[in-house]
Amino acid sequence: MTYLSKLVCVFSIFLVGNWAMGAGGKVSQKISDQNVVMAVHAGLGIEKSEMTPAIEKQFREDIEKALQAGYAVYAKKGGSLDMVEAAVKVMEDAPEFNAGKGAVFTHDGRNELDASIMSGKDLSAGAVAEVTTIKNPIALARLVMEKSPHVLLVGSGAEQFGSEVGVEIVDPSYFRTEQRYKEWQQMLKEEEKAKTGPRKSSLPPYHTWGTVGAVALDTSGDLAAGTSTGGMTNKRYGRVGDSPIIGAGTYAENGVAAISCTGHGEFFIRYAVAHDIISLMKYKGLSVQKAADEVLLGKLKKVGGEGGAIALDSHGRVAMPYNSEAMTRGYITKDGKTHIFLYEK
């Protein structure tokens, strides 16, 4: 073989190898992780010391229902936006999670809800914040995207828009649960005691903040992401976290990935976490796993930003890193098999 022939052969092998390895130059993950069509999360979860068999069973059942709701859309060749909305609605209706029914209380005794959704196909997005009468905020976020020229609507204006476009309206009392009320009351007592000394909450982190979210890849190759939350217990002054902020808590772009985040929203906003993961994949060529790890386990952890994310790339590879003790999460593959995790890495 001549020198030129050898050179051509080596170059051909290099091209094929890089094509096979995909983004980041890393061999693809295990087969099950290459065929994921949806992943969901339900926040940072409960610390192991707080977990009971009954709570764990309920969490796993709720995640299973959310995944199956999204997969039912996928099986009928529905779009990724429909998959995301269906899954998030299930979790908004589950009082165990901090989104929709069962949302935490603000300092003023209200349940204020935030949500966002984004299409990877054309980067269209919609979001709402501080709504108190919308049964499923994710549905209203989608209508903001599809029925208005805006991206983010807030408070009474968002609710007025919701009544005009026909989303389900409920009395604010719908969102209240006794468990969340007790958590709020406990935090108020601790806040009162803190006036005479340093405050250290006895509530575990899952009581303080929590979020649900979903990412999906449909049969057409379109990605979508959605996130919904009740925010932080005892929050004041109309505080809004990252969940309704495109680029912070939610992002999706075809050909790259779909991201939904959970955790301490102030950090996720400042570090534009969802978009940062996308950027590392686009501009540095990192795999979805490496990009998500670099942001969540590297950048964010270094500055004390507690949280996690689910990320699904355009090839059906999933990453679900978190830097806290637990994150309730799961995914479902093309064949309909579900994989659910609470503490398991």
Is residue 261 within 8 A of residue 308, CB to CB? The reply is: yes
Report the alpha-carbon distance of residue 235 to residue 213 in Å, rounded: 21
Q: What are phi and psi of 19, to 5 degrees?
A: -60, -40
Residue 305 lies in a domain: yes
274 part of a folded domain: yes
Q: Is residue 325 part of a domain?
A: yes
**Cα 93 to Cα 135, 137, 138, distances in angstroms:** 8, 11, 11
- Catalytic-residue membership of 211: yes
Does residue 317 lie in a domain region? yes
Spell out the per-residue pLDDT of the chain, length 345, in tens.
554 444 434 334 333 333 333 333 333 334 346 799 999 999 997 777 778 899 899 999 999 999 999 999 999 999 999 999 999 999 999 999 999 999 999 999 999 999 999 999 999 999 999 999 999 999 999 999 999 999 999 999 999 999 999 999 999 999 999 999 998 999 898 888 877 655 555 444 444 557 999 999 999 999 999 999 999 999 999 999 999 999 999 999 999 999 999 999 999 999 999 999 999 999 999 999 999 999 999 999 999 999 999 999 999 999 999 999 899 999 999 999 999 999 776
Domains in the chain, number: 1
Pair of tokens at residue 35: 């065929």
- Does residue 23 belong to any structural domain of this protein? no
Query: What does the alpha-carbon distance between residue 103 and residue 174 come to, in Å, rounded to a whole number?
Result: 10
Range of the domain at 298: 32-341
CA distances in angstroms from 116 to 89, 140, 260, 294, 318, listed in the order given: 12, 9, 10, 24, 21
pLDDT in tens, 166-222: 999 999 999 999 999 998 999 898 888 877 655 555 444 444 557 999 999 999 999
Closest of 318, 324, 329 to residue 288, by C-alpha:
318
Which CATH number does the domain housing residue 307 bear? 3.60.20.30
DSSP 50: G
Given the residues 106, 133, 211, 233, the one annotated as active site: 211
Average per-residue pLDDT for the chain: 88
Q: Report the pLDDT value the prediction gives residue 196, as an integer from 0 to 100.
A: 65
How do beta strands 152-154 and 125-131 pair? parallel
Q: Check: CB of residue 328 under 8 Å from CB of residue 213.
A: no
φ/ψ of 208, rounded to 5, equals -85, -40
pLDDT at 45: 76
The first and second tokens of residue 181, run together, are: 């009320």
Q: What is the pLDDT of residues 233-272, one digit of tens each?
A: 999 999 999 999 999 999 999 999 999 999 999 999 999 9
Long-range contacts of 246-249 (CB under 8 A, 24+ apart): 246/116, 246/118, 246/125, 246/127, 246/151, 246/152, 246/274, 247/272, 247/274, 247/275, 248/272, 248/273, 248/274, 248/275, 249/116, 249/211, 249/213, 249/273, 249/274
How far is residue 14's CA from residue 95's CA, in Å, rounded to a whole number? Answer: 53
Which pLDDT belongs to residue 344? 76
In a domain, 20, yes or no: no
Per the domain annotation, does 292 fall within a domain? yes
| 26 within a domain of the structure (yes/no) | no
Q: Around Cβ 4, how many Cβ atoms within 10 Å? A: 8
